[in-house]
Amino acid sequence: MLYYLVKWLKELGLPGTGMFQYISFRSAASFVTALVISVFFGKYFISYLRRKQIGENVRNLGLAGQNEKAGTPTMGGIIIIASILVPALLFCDMRNIYVLLMIFTTVWLGILGLVDDYIKVFKKDKEGLSPKKKLIGQIVLGLVVGSAMYFHPNVVICEKVSKQQTVYSTASSNDLLQSENQENSNAPRIFDEPHHSSKTTIPFVKNHELDYSFLTRLFGDETGKWSFLLFIPLIVFVIAAVSNGANLTDGLDGLATGTTATMAVGIAILAYVSGNVIFADYLNIMYIPNSGELVIFISAVIGACIGFYWWNCYPANVFMGDTGSLTLGGIIAVSCIIIRKELLIPILCGIYLAQSLSVIVQVSYFKYTKKKFGEGRRVLLMAPLHHHFQKKGMHESKIVQRFIVVSMLLVVMTLVTLKIR
């Protein structure tokens, strides 16, 4: 809770403490702290896993170099979770509903993944936690996040007023500089008063927004009061889909951490511009008060991923296991939901989507051809997609680097959608 200590010291007039009011400063501190924890303290945790012989039980899939990975320490997602939570607790405003949702997501999915890894490692059950139980855990998280986003009084947005209604207060350049501070009240009056809304951002359209209540009005719900019956199930679906997509992506050394780090950078940018009245005005997007705190949390995620990549890149010293992959996927999903960019996920998380679709297409086509021809056929050499390229003889480090490059391009495309409409 360093944030509150420094805030108290600022009230006492201690020089330098004013830096903590800036989201950019706390985000940088959060990033560095997460990076240090994952790199330096991760080393000792990996040694502990080796001593306890907590290693990966690798299935024989007929892939090159696969046997070399047997016994590699797993459950390294604990490093990622610790590297995220410590900076968040130090530098974030813990009264912020968005921060609380992110912490709950991290802890909840971390426990779910840890149970799965525990069953695999200690119970010697390669299947781990059943898919049904995983899905139930993800549904519970979706219900909590969806309900909070729809019903919590502090979850509000500000919409841009018309040009005729726009009123600018007398704001100095210093006031504009401090507009990243959520407590600043001298920013220009470009947006209306904070209000509850079921609107979200939709790409490639003129007004750039979609109101879920509009969809329920089509079925006779004139006031839109039943829109939560559409909104909450959608949130559950998004969280389950993205979390499982990240889980499928965790199949090569550094693949999940590298691609997730690039996605997190994109989300941090989106969260910053959504929580900054000046940038929200320039980009003509909805202004989401207090969402700037999310940048600090996501900065910790970026630092944790990069730090873990230090140990997880080829050849990996540790695997994150479901403890890390389920958690990272959930964090990406919930953060997009918070800043109302969940409809951008197919672009931003295109790697996750491709991995999931490759499995769905492979399994569906195999079942279809087996039923029709009596012999199962495959679209890919192996699913998920990264294994297809392995089967074609491509080295896994090259696959990982190319997937990361593609993920970078997708992040840029996601940011560009803010101006293409």
Q: What is the pLDDT of residue 18?
A: 74
Q: What is the pLDDT of residue 334?
A: 97
- Quick one: average pLDDT of 137-143? 97
Q: Is 311 part of any domain?
A: yes
Among candidates 339, 84, 352, which has minimal Cα distance to 240? Answer: 352
Higher pLDDT, 183 or 146: 146
Q: What is the pLDDT of residues 2-28, one digit of tens each?
A: 767 777 677 777 777 777 788 999 999
Cα(253)–Cα(134) distance, rounded to whole angstroms?
24
Q: Is 57 part of any domain?
A: yes
Q: What is the pLDDT of residues 244-263, one digit of tens each?
A: 999 999 989 999 999 999 99
**What is the share, in percent, of the chain residues with pLDDT greater than 90?**
64
Count Cβ atoms below 10 Å from residue 101 Cβ, excluding itself.
23
Count Cβ atoms below 10 Å from residue 64 Cβ, excluding itself.
12
Buried b or exposed e, range 218-248, using 16+ CB within 10 angstroms: eeebeebeebbebbbebbbbbbbbbbbbbbb
Q: What is the pLDDT of residues 293-309, one digit of tens each?
A: 999 999 999 999 999 99
Helix (H) or strand (E) holding 149: helix 131-151
Q: What is the pLDDT of residue 233?
A: 95
Task: Report DSSP state, residue 256.
Answer: H
Mean pLDDT is lowest, of 170-179, 231-240, 400-409, for: 170-179
Q: What is the pLDDT of residue 332?
A: 97
Q: Is 258 part of any domain?
A: yes
Higher pLDDT, 360 or 128: 360
**Cβ-contact 407, 351 below 8 angstroms:** yes
Q: What is the pLDDT of residue 115?
A: 95
Cα(262)–Cα(267) distance, rounded to whole angstroms?
9
Q: What is the pLDDT of residue 162?
A: 60
Cα(73)–Cα(45) distance, rounded to whole angstroms?
10
**Cβ-contact 224, 198 below 8 angstroms:** yes
Q: What is the pLDDT of residue 297?
A: 97
Residue 383 has pLDDT above 60, yes or no: yes
Q: Is 90 part of any domain?
A: yes
Q: What is the pLDDT of residue 133?
A: 94
Residue 186 has pLDDT above 70, yes or no: no
**Confidence label for 205 from pLDDT (cuts 50, 70 and 90):** confident
Place of tokens 């050499």: 381
Q: What is the pLDDT of residue 366?
A: 94
Higher pLDDT, 89 or 161: 89
Helix (H) or strand (E) holding 199: strand 199-201
Q: What is the pLDDT of residue 17?
A: 72
Q: What is the pLDDT of residue 67?
A: 66
Q: What is the pLDDT of residues 316-361, one digit of tens each?
A: 999 999 999 999 999 999 999 999 999 999 999 999 999 999 999 9
Cα(349)–Cα(357) distance, rounded to whole angstroms?
12
What does each C-alpha distance from 198 to 35, 146, 187, 342 come to in angstroms? 36, 11, 25, 12
Higher pLDDT, 154 or 184: 154
Q: Is 212 part of any domain?
A: yes
Q: Is 338 part of any domain?
A: yes
What residues contact residue 235 under an 8 Å CB cut-off, 6+ apart?
142, 145, 146, 149, 337, 342
Total domains in the fold of the chain: 1
Place of tokens 């997190």: 264
Structural domain harbouring 147: 22-356+402-416
Q: What is the pLDDT of residue 58?
A: 66
Q: What is the pLDDT of residue 407?
A: 97
Bond preceding residue 384 cis, omega within 30 of 0: yes
CA 216 to chain centroid, in Å, comes to 28
Cα(7)–Cα(5) distance, rounded to whole angstroms?
5
Among candidates 83, 149, 151, 118, which has minimal Cα distance to 335? Answer: 149
Residue 164 has pLDDT above 70, yes or no: no
Residue 175 has pLDDT above 70, yes or no: no
Higher pLDDT, 121 or 126: 121
Residue 174 has pLDDT above 70, yes or no: no
Q: Is 51 part of any domain?
A: yes
Count Cβ atoms below 10 Å from residue 52 Cβ, excluding itself.
11
Q: What is the pLDDT of residue 62?
A: 66
Q: What is the pLDDT of residue 362?
A: 95
Average pLDDT across the chain, whole number: 87
3-class state of residue 341 by DSSP: coil
Q: What is the pLDDT of residues 47-91, one digit of tens each?
A: 999 998 887 776 666 676 666 777 789 999 999 999 999 999 999
Q: Is 251 part of any domain?
A: yes
- Quick one: average pLDDT of 35-49? 94
